[in-house]
Structure 1
Amino acid sequence: FKGGNQDPVEWIEAFSRACIANRVSEERAIVLVASYLKGTALTWYNRETIEEYIAAITELWKRVDPTDRRMELDKIHEFIEGLRPEFVVPVQSAMPQTVEEAMEKAQALETAFSMGMDLSVYSMMPGYL
């Protein structure tokens, strides 16, 4: 998906059909979708704030699983996999037990990065932020 004049709903439907045809699980599709972004859509994805990402993934989960039956560990994994690379290891290192904990850790890291803080090894430890 490039953005611009391309219809995002049409693109998502085509992507979903391709995933079904290739027997890609919904969980895997969520992780894969970012790798198919190009142009302005990729720029938006790379600049997306944690708050925007949380809103987007929460909405996606509501569409994919309206009855909220998914395992908490699956949601944690999907959330972390969709983070920008600089957030993945620190959030994983915090060993969140709920997706809310993972979200809070990611938000704290984003705040630290935006303040220009140099995150040391100690800041990667669970409970530091």
Structure 2
Amino acid sequence: MTVKYRLSGSTLGLLAVAVALSACTSPDDPSNEAQPDDLQLLVSNEERDGSFGPQALFEGTLVVSEEDCVLAEGTDGTTYNIEFPVGAAQDPEDASIIKLEIADLVIGEDVALGGGYSAAGNNDAALATMPESCRQPETFHLYTTE
């Protein structure tokens, strides 16, 4: 049995627009990926208002691991735990946004953050809240956004 379809001019026009728009975004762009609604965030128990703190600079991208943990990938390719200030949470309207009191950060976009680095042994209590498979040798403690 053969089924034939006829597409009207307006249907073909809409199809052409849809194909053109889909070509505008890269499928490999992490900001295009739907994020789970329950990402694992490493959140400090310290209040940080963004006005002072360690001044080490992190430049890179927020990424999501296979275990749904938010990590920081530096421009040199090194992956770090990222410890967010108290109150950090996923935006309920857009799961790719991490809401902080001082700014909103978007997973997959480049960031420049101020804070400090520590080796895993210096923050074992905080890391205990993260799945072991997510833990990295170093943690970046976010204090300010650039």
Normalising to structure 1: TM-score of the pair? 0.23
- The structure that has the greater radius of gyration is 2
Greater fraction strand: 2
Scaled by the length of structure 2, the TM-score of the pair is 0.22
Structure with bigger helix share is: 1
